[in-house]
Amino acid sequence: MKTFVLHGDFVSAPEPGRLETVRGGYMALENGVIQGLFPVLPERYRGLPVADYSGKLILQSFADMHLHAPQYPMLGLGMDLQLLEWLHAYAFPNEAKFRDPDYARLEYARLSRDLIRAGTTRAVMFSSLHTDATLILMEELEKAGITGYVGKVNMDRNATPGYQETTEESVSETIRFIEESARFRKVRPIITPRFTPSCSDRLMEELGRIAKEYGLYVQSHLSENLQEIEWVRELHPDCSEYWETYDKYGLFGDHTVMVHCIWSSERERRAMREHNVLAVHCPDSNVNVCSGLFPVIRMLDEGTWVALGSDIAGGADYHMNRVMTGAIRTSKARRIQSGWKDRFLQVTEAYYLGTTAGATYFGAGKGFSAGDRLHAIVVDESSFPENGNLSLQERLERAVYLMDEKNIAAVFSDGEQVVGSSV
């Protein structure tokens, strides 16, 4: 059923730090599209079937703007290593296993199911080098009801024997990936140079050309780790900053997803704003592989577009509510380091970053906007410790800190119910 009324306690974040709350409200949906959210159901919608979640929270679902799908099986491994050692010891060998399509089917079905049950309905992800496994990933995401962008990873240098492409293979397989993924409706291809050290200048040039020719967005990593930044400087002595190594090849434009940006200078951050680049903050990963503490408050105050990512498996948790609390903890650590001068991220801001900030990447409006297809989760708080009459903002705060899949009674994605018994 896609034309119905949703009833419950609604909390959305149309702006960072501003909530829109309706206790006991009614949301009317026509073919999965939000018509409006009302404190009292208007006459014209009476008679429609009601999905009655009275007493439960109805929140925006999550957007995970960066994760590595083939790193899911290695979740929680290699956490004593720093980025570059971790890539060689864990990431590359684990990703290489996805040359086997049966293994890919099994693992990607599991990942897709786990993400949707945790309330992630939108995602932007890296796959592995393998075109066939990448197409399998897209198929499994669509089946589970997840919308988003998936990239076949490109690497023609500095990887590992058996898990690296020639420049020619990388180019022809990227084109095959783009053309074969035209059959998917909810998951689209995105151009994915892994990061500058993984891609020769010729490959970067070709990828820039392909992105332009097919009109595709780009995703990559930027200014994550100090050793990595030094390495990029040696590889591109003609560029004074890391972002220029992408920009030089047309890989730093509108809606480019640049992941991490922990160490970005003022000039690099300005370039992101001028090019409408999305900076993805992955707090769990940044601390796990000892990269640094992302300056989220500075980025927001400067007006840089920031959203959140789990970055599994550098991040060891795909629950986006816990990525939100990770972002809050990182900003508090920065406050402590600043001698208690810097302010820290509020829960309402973190909720915005994990929902609306990512949703707008997909063309959605802010919060629960009329005209958007519904992306929402229903939270059953009955397993939380009892604490009398809380405000809707306090209930949101608790949900952000405490919930996991056992509290998620229903998930709606792209206007359809994909978890929970349907209306």
Residue 97 and residue 63 in contact, taking contact as beta carbons nearer than 8 Å: no
Sign, CA dihedral 139-145-148-154, equals negative
Residue 385 and residue 416 in contact, taking contact as beta carbons nearer than 8 Å: no
Amino acid identity of residue 146, one-letter, is I
The contact pattern for ligand GUN, residues 196-215, with x = CB under 6 A and - = no contact, is: --------------------
Please choose which of ligand GUN, Fe ion, none residue 194 contacts, taking the beta carbon within 5 to 8 angstroms, the exact cut-off set by kind: ligand GUN
Residue 186 and residue 193 in contact, taking contact as beta carbons nearer than 8 Å: no
| 66 touches ligand GUN (CB under 6 A) | no
With 0-12 CB in 10 A as exposed, 13-18 as middle and 19+ as buried, what is 326? buried
Residues 258 to 287 in contact with ligand GUN, rule: CB under 6 A: 285
Residue 174 and residue 152 in contact, taking contact as beta carbons nearer than 8 Å: yes
Residues 198 to 257 in contact with Fe ion, rule: CB under 5 A: none
Please choose which of Fe ion, ligand GUN, none residue 195 contacts, taking the beta carbon within 5 to 8 angstroms, the exact cut-off set by kind: ligand GUN
Among 268, 311, 349, 397, contact with Fe ion (rule: CB under 5 A): 311
* Euclidean distance between CA atoms 137 and 352, whole angstroms: 28
With 0-12 CB in 10 A as exposed, 13-18 as middle and 19+ as buried, what is 174? buried
| 221 touches ligand GUN (CB under 6 A) | yes
- Contacting residues for 270 by C-beta, under 8 A, at least 6 apart: none
CB of 104 to ligand GUN, least distance (A): 17
CB of 288 to ligand GUN, least distance (A): 9
Give the single-character DSSP code of 277: P
CB of 158 to ligand GUN, least distance (A): 10
- Using CB under 6 A, which of the segments 83-91, 98-106, 236-244, 326-334 binds ligand GUN? 83-91
- Using CB under 5 A, which of the segments 39-47, 127-135, 230-238, 306-314 binds Fe ion? 306-314
Residue 278 and residue 324 in contact, taking contact as beta carbons nearer than 8 Å: no
DSSP per-residue codes, 165-184: --HHHHHHHHHHHHHHGGG-
Residues 310 to 329 in contact with ligand GUN, rule: CB under 6 A: 311, 314
CB of 403 to ligand GUN, least distance (A): 25
Cβ closest to ligand GUN, residue 177 vs residue 195: 195
Amino acid identity of residue 69, one-letter, is A
Give the single-character DSSP code of 64: E
| 224 touches ligand GUN (CB under 6 A) | yes
Please choose which of Fe ion, ligand GUN, none residue 91 contacts, taking the beta carbon within 5 to 8 angstroms, the exact cut-off set by kind: ligand GUN
CB of 221 to ligand GUN, least distance (A): 4
Binding site for ligand GUN (CB under 6 A): 68, 83, 87, 91, 194-195, 221, 224, 285, 311, 314
